[in-house]
Structure 1
C-alpha cells in the first residue's frame, strides 16, 4: 500500500471525508430501531416525550443535549418561563434545587389509560407546590384501550382536577407515539380526532377548563391528518428537542408551552412557557 504524503490530494480528500462524517454523526437525528416484543415497555411506564427523540427531536446533538442553551435564540425574542415535567421515572424530585435554578412551573404525570396512576404523584405534585411552583397534572393517552371520555373521567378522579387557586394549571392530554404498538393506536385519522374530542369534551364538562394538548407536529400530522379544529380553544404544548419549536400543527398560530429537551441538568425534561410568569399565572387562574 502506498504511503500517503501529508500534503497530497488524496490525503486531503480523506481528511475532509472524515471531517464530514464526524459532523453528520453529531447533527443527524437518531432513527428508531425496529420494535420487537422484547422492546415493548410495561404498561404504565410511558411518559411525556417518550417518542420524541426517535421521531421529532435531535437527541444526541450538542444543541439537544444542552438544555440550558437549546431555547436561547427563541428567548431573545420573547420572554419565557422555565418549567419541567416529571413522572414516576424521576421518583423523588429535588424541587428546591429546581426552584433555585429558575424553574417556576411543573407538570406531573397523574394517569395513563384507565389502568395506571403514578405512585409518586402526590409527593411530586405537592412538592412542586410547596416550593412555590405553579403546577398541573397530565394524562398519557392510550386511545386503543378505552374511550376518550372514560379516560378523561379517570384522569379527573385521580389527580387531574382543577381549582381556581392561581397555582393549579389546567390538565394536559398527552397524545403522542404509542410506546406499546402502532404509532396511531390502530385508529384512522378521523377516529383519532373523534377520540381526542371525546376526551376534551368530558374534561371540560368535569372541570370547566379546556385541557392543554401536548403533541408533536409529525405525530399530529400522521395520526390526525393535521386536523386544525382544536387550536381556537385548547392551548398547545409542542414537543421538539431542537433549537426552535419548528412548524406547529394546523389550527395553532403559536404555542403556549414547548418541551425542548430531555437532558436538563437536574430533571431531564425541561420546558418553556411562551411568556413571562404573569402569563403562567393567568393560565392557572383561567
Structure 2
C-alpha cells in the first residue's frame, strides 16, 4: 500500500466523525480568537474580555518550550474557551521536532487543537525546495503518535509550499494583513476563505478590551464542535462551514499619510519617518538599536546603541511573520525585497531603497 493511501485509510474514521459533527452545526458558525506566545503576559488569556479561542505557542525547534504555556492555556480553559497549541518550525530534523512538540504538550493532548507554524523567521528550510517534504514529515509524525492532523499556519505567500496530499489531511491557517492599523475582531477579513482554509490570521495589531498590548487576531471557520473534532483527530472539511455574521469592532481611522518622499535611493530621516507613519509606530525618523552591519549601505538614519531593536523593524517583522527582534537583519531585508519586487540578495542597496520609497509614497507598506 502506498504511503498516501495509508494516510487516507488512517484519516477515514475521524473524517467521518468530523463530518457528522459539522453537519449538525449552524451553517454560519465561526469563532473569533487570538494566538499568543511568551512575549505576552502569562495572564493574557485571562485579561482579554471577549474571545472564543486561544492558540498558545508550545515549542520551537527541539530545545525551546514556552514557559508561560500552562498558565496561558489554563486561563483560557477555565473560562470555557477553546484552546490550541502550536509548534514553531526551525527547519531542522522534522521527526525530532515533531517528537519534541508531542512530548511537550503532555496532558493537553486531545483537549487542544494542534498546529504547525511554518514561516520564514529562524526556519532553515522555508526557502528550500525541501520545504514541502519537511511539512509532510512533521505532520505525518504528529498524526502517527497522536491520531491528530495538525493545522498548518503559513504566510499566504507560502501556501503553495504545502503539498496536495498534506492539504488532503490538514487544515490550513494562512496569514495576510490588509494593513498594520489597529483593529478589533473582523467577521469578513481581507482574503478570508481564499484557500478554503480552516482558519485565518488577519491582523497582528489586534486591540481587544482588557489587554493593553497588541494581539494576533484569527477567525476559525467552524463552530465549537468542529474545533473539538480537530483536537480529537480529524481534518475538518471546511467547505460546509461559512464565516459567522458576527459584528466587527470598528477599526480606528487610518492616520494621515504624506506621500512626499524623493525617490533618491537613500533611507534617510524623511523616508524612515514616512515608514514609521505608515506602520503606525512612533515617529522619530531613526531606525534605532541596531548593530553596525555592512549589508545596509543605503540606510542613513540609524543608531547603533543598545542593540535593543526598533519598533519600526518589529512592525515590519510582524507583517512578514518573522521573529520580532527589531533588528534589520538580512532575513528581514530579503522579505522586504520580495514584497517590493527587488532582488532578494539581503543587501539594502539603492534599488531596494528606491522601491521602498515608491511603495511608501502610496501611503502603505
Which bracket does the TM-score occupy, shorter chain normalised?
Answer: 0.5 to 0.7
Deviation string, structure 1 residues 151-202 (Cα, Å, up to 9, x no partner): 00001111277544xxx2331110011x2477x5462x2x112211111111
140 and 261 in structure 1: CA distance in 2 versus 1, 3 angstrom threshold: same
2:191 is paired with a residue of what secondary structure? coil
1:214 aligned residue (142, 145, 153): 153
247 and 160 in structure 1: CA distance in 2 versus 1, 3 angstrom threshold: farther
Q: Does 1:131 align with 2:79?
A: yes
Structure 1 residue 269 displacement after superposition:
0.6
Structure 1 residue 112 displacement after superposition:
0.4
1:92 aligned residue (35, 38, 42): 42
The answer on whether the counterparts of 2:82 and 2:112 sit within 8 Å (CA) in structure 1 is yes
Q: Does 1:149 align with 2:99?
A: no
2:166 is paired with a residue of what secondary structure? coil
1:241 aligned residue (177, 181, 189): 177
The answer on whether the counterparts of 2:61 and 2:97 sit within 8 Å (CA) in structure 1 is yes
Considering Cα pairs closer than 8 Å and 6+ residues apart, tell me whether 1 or 2 has the greater RCO: 1
1:194 is paired with a residue of what secondary structure? helix
Counting only pairs closer than 5 Å after superposition, residues 116-127 of structure 1 correspond to structure 2 as 116-127=64-75
- Indicate the residue corresponding to 1:270 in structure 2: 217
285 and 185 in structure 1: CA distance in 2 versus 1, 3 angstrom threshold: closer
The answer on whether the counterparts of 1:171 and 1:211 sit within 8 Å (CA) in structure 2 is yes
2:104 is paired with a residue of what secondary structure? helix
Counting only pairs closer than 5 Å after superposition, residues 134-283 of structure 1 correspond to structure 2 as 134-143=82-91, 146-159=92-105, 163-164=109-110, 168-177=111-120, 179-180=121-122, 184-185=125-126, 187=128, 189=129, 191-221=130-160, 224=161, 227-242=163-178, 243-245=189-191, 248=194, 254-265=196-207, 266=211, 267-283=214-230
TM-align CA RMSD: 2.4
The answer on whether the counterparts of 2:89 and 2:123 sit within 8 Å (CA) in structure 1 is no
Deviation string, structure 1 residues 193-249 (Cα, Å, up to 9, x no partner): 22111111111111111111111231244xx3x63221110011111123423685x
Task: State the TM-score, normalizing by the size of structure 1.
Answer: 0.60
1:195 is paired with a residue of what secondary structure? helix
Structure 1 residue 127 displacement after superposition:
1.6
Structure 2: runs of 5 or more not aligned: 1-26, 179-188, 234-365
Deviation string, structure 1 residues 7-63 (Cα, Å, up to 9, x no partner): xxxxxxxxxxxxxxxxxxxxxxxxxxxxxxxxxxxxxxxxxxxxxxxxxxxxxxxxx
The total of aligned residue pairs comes to: 192
The answer on whether the counterparts of 1:137 and 1:160 sit within 8 Å (CA) in structure 2 is no
The answer on whether the counterparts of 1:139 and 1:155 sit within 8 Å (CA) in structure 2 is yes
160 and 197 in structure 1: CA distance in 2 versus 1, 3 angstrom threshold: farther
